[in-house]
């Protein structure tokens, strides 16, 4: 029976179920209805193939080729970081600052290190009037971002640019800069365990203390922001104080840090003086 195979898979029930839906080309409801049904040898082989990949440590998102973010299903490949729920806080912080009584109509937003395009596409879908520029150094990552923009009907509002941070942007200035840059220290033991083993190192590691990318962005952002423009960056839960210091030293005002749903410091930002 399917239920017996799921329990014997060696995986958490939810993971085994998700992979079974893909292997058997069934919906969650259909899998639930067939738990007591026998499984053909062909289907069992398909199940075992996906389960074996997961037992080997490969992230479920890469096996399925997708991950939900901000209520939408984004295509992901090993060329991009897997979107995390914590990053939704960064999107919410941007949207809060381009909405409300002082809404910025047709505001320009720069997403640095876009990866799968989760941030850029979410912003363009939530606010179709925004002019979003998505930047990444990886051609493969930008291909994934473009695909997600097309698939999620946000392509018209997004421009994709190959660039090392601001290098290819010339003198362009934006109303808002958002980034989920690499912020893991190069020697962090988490890099060689769990899902992180399979994700692109360049999207994770940022020097000996994990701060290299955050420093580079904070140092150059003012040259690419319009007066009163905001810089908002995701960072590690222990980096908030240092990021606030960076922002203050580089002339930003109204410096703040937002906490994620776990109560951890996760997004810091500041506003360029008007």
**Span 114-162, pLDDT tens digits:** 999 999 999 999 999 999 999 999 999 999 999 999 999 877 779 999 9
Q: Any idea what DSSP says for residue 83? A: P
pLDDT of residue 73: 96
Number of domains in the chain: 2
Q: At what angle do helices 118-126 and 139-151 cross, to 10 degrees?
A: 30
- pLDDT at 189 > cutoff 70: yes
In a domain, 252, yes or no: yes
CA distance 35 to 6: 9
164 Cβ neighbours under 8 A, 6+ residues apart? 137
Give the model confidence (pLDDT) of 190-248 as tens digits.
Answer: 888 888 899 999 999 999 999 999 999 999 999 999 999 999 999 999 999 999 999 99
The confidence band for 91, taking pLDDT boundaries of 50, 70 and 90, is: very high
Domain that holds residue 94: 80-271
| Cβ contacts of 84-87, under 8 Å, gap ≥ 24 | 85/261, 86/234, 86/260, 86/261, 86/266, 87/118, 87/119, 87/180, 87/234
In a domain, 64, yes or no: no
CA distance 63 to 49: 10
pLDDT of residue 263: 96
Q: Are residues 209 and 262 in the same domain?
A: yes
Q: Are residues 145 and 85 in the same domain?
A: yes
CA distance 119 to 234: 11
Q: Are residues 24 and 117 in the same domain?
A: no
Of 54, 175, 64, 57, residue with least CA distance to 110: 175
Q: Are residues 144 and 27 in the same domain?
A: no
DSSP-assigned states of every residue in 193-258:
SGGGGGS-GGGTB-STTS-HHHHHHHHHGGGGEEEEEEEEEE--TT-HHHHHHHHHHTT-EEEEEE
Q: Are residues 97 and 198 in the same domain?
A: yes
């Amino acid at each position: 029976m399917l239920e017996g195979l799921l329990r014997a898979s060696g995986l958490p029930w939810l993971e085994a179920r998700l992979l079974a839906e893909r292997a058997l080309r069934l919906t969650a409801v259909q899998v639930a209805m067939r738990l007591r049904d026998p499984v053909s040898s062909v289907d069992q082989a398909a199940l075992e193939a996906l389960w074996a990949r997961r037992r080997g440590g490969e992230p479920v998102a890469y096996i399925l080729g997708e991950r939900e973010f901000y209520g939408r299903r984004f295509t992901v490949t090993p060329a991009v970081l897997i979107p995390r729920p914590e990053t939704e806080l960064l999107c919410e912080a941007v949207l809060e600052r381009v909405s409300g009584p002082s809404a910025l109509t047709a505001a320009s937003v720069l997403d640095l290190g876009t990866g799968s395009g989760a941030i850029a596409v979410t912003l363009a879908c939530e606010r179709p009037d925004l002019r979003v520029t998505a930047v990444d150094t990886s051609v493969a990552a930008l291909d994934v971002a473009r695909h997600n923009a097309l698939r999620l009907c946000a392509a018209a509002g997004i421009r994709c640019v190959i660039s090392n941070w601001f290098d290819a942007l010339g003198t362009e200035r934006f109303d808002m800069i958002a980034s989920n840059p690499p912020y893991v220290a190069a020697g962090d033991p988490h890099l060689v365990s769990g899902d992180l083993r399979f994700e692109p190192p360049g999207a994770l590691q940022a020097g000996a203390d994990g701060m290299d990318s955050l420093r580079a962005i904070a140092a150059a952002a003012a040259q690419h922001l319009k007066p009163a423009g905001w810089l908002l960056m995701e960072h590690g839960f222990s980096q908030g104080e240092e990021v606030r210091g960076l922002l203050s030293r580089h002339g930003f005002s109204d410096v703040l840090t937002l906490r994620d749903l776990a109560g951890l410091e996760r997004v810091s930002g500041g506003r360029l003086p008007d």
